[in-house]
A = this chain, B = another copy of it.
Amino acid sequence: MPNLRELLRVPGGARIDLTSYDTAATPGGPRDKAAGLAATAALGPRLAALQERLYAASTGGDRRRLLLVLQGMDTSGKGGTVKHVIGLFNPSGCRIKAFKAPTREELNHPFLWRVMQALPQPGEIGIFDRSHYEDVLIARVRGLAPPKVLDRRYGQIDRFEQSLVEDGVTVVKVFLHISYDEQRRRLLERLDNPEKHWKFNPGDIEERALWPAYQEAYEIALARCSTEEAPWYLVPADRKWYRNWAISTLLLEHLEEMDPAYPPGDFDVTASRKRLLLDSIADPGGGVPEGCGRR
């Protein structure tokens, strides 16, 4: 298996040119859609097994957890990723948070406050559908904060994420990169299907008019916040099957590196087995007669 992390990692520091990345590419991926769907399905049991080990480890005191941050333009597939990739995991160990426009209470706190409330706990996999990055994306494009405040946020984000990593969080940040034309196709698809009208908002077209400004905001955020501790990954996302495969594979690579272990039992197995084999209901109470088996 190729090391997809190396392939998709965004170099920090120097600003990249997003238009130089092919949104329909399939770097490191299976040869075609059929192979991609099969490969992703095959990853499911491996991901679920690692997740169980991660959760089990937390019951033995291991504080580690994983946080997947999903960012991308409207229709880039953040929701689809949750459905198809996170759907491969046991839902009880996933903590999913979709960030919307901040509430009044959230605005009265530092911008990282609401993010702190939604962090995964030890053993969990956290998923952010949008995140604190909105505060340097839409906030920048729409001028929701003074330039000086916006500019400070990149450093605040870097320090925040470094603290998370130090506290045992593996941070996996994924930018879903789609093209302007692909977004048009997907928005038209929503318009053409009345059962998808609820997903459509005419305001999406206004946002779309700001495409270049958003791409610029992403380029800056990726450059300034792709750190050693918490790098950004750029996933070409025009092909949904590739997107799902790539994110599944990124998660697998990180979980395998974490290599969580089942904790050893801290009890006497033989004694417990003996007690179980010998026990019986002292007072049958409601009337469970011994040796009668089930009714």
Assess whether B60 is in contact with A286, with CB atoms less than 8 Å apart: no
Q: Is A103 an interface residue (CB 8 A)?
A: no
Whether A215 contacts B18 in the complex (CB less than 8 A), given A92-B83, A205-B275, A276-B184, comes out as no
The size class of the interface chain A forms with chain B is: 35 or more
Question: Using an 8 Å CB-CB cutoff, how does the interface string of A183-225 with B read, 1 for contact, 0 for none?
Answer: 0100110010011011111100100110111011001000000
Q: Answer whether A90 and B92 are a contact pair too, CB < 8 Å, given A276-B187, A288-B180.
A: no
From known contacts A91-B83, A92-B98, infer whether A281 and B180 are also in contact, taking CB-CB under 8 Å: yes
Stretch at the interface among A31-39, A166-174, A260-268: A260-268
Among candidates B59, B191, B279, B286, residue contacting A19 with C-beta atoms closer than 8 Å: B286
CB of A24 within 8 Å of the partner chain: yes
A262→B195 contact, CB < 8 A: yes
Contacts of A91 on B, CB cut-off 8 Å? Answer: 82-83, 86-87, 89, 91, 94, 96
A81 to B214 alpha-carbon distance, docked (Å): 43
Q: How many copies does the complex hold?
A: 2
Rounded to whole angstroms, the CA-CA distance of A200 and B264 in the bound complex is 11
Q: Are B90 and A90 in contact (CB under 8 A)?
A: no
**What is the distance, in angstroms, from A247's C-beta to the closest C-beta of chain B?**
14
Most B CB within 10 A of own CB, among A195, A197, A219, A275: A197
Is A276 within 8 A of B191, CB to CB? yes
Residues of A76-104 whose CB lies within 8 A of B: 79, 82-83, 86-87, 89-92, 94, 96, 98
Task: Return 13 A-B CB contacts under 8 Å, by A number.
Answer: A17-B286, A19-B287, A89-B91, A184-B277, A184-B279, A188-B277, A197-B263, A198-B262, A198-B265, A209-B282, A212-B281, A212-B288, A215-B286
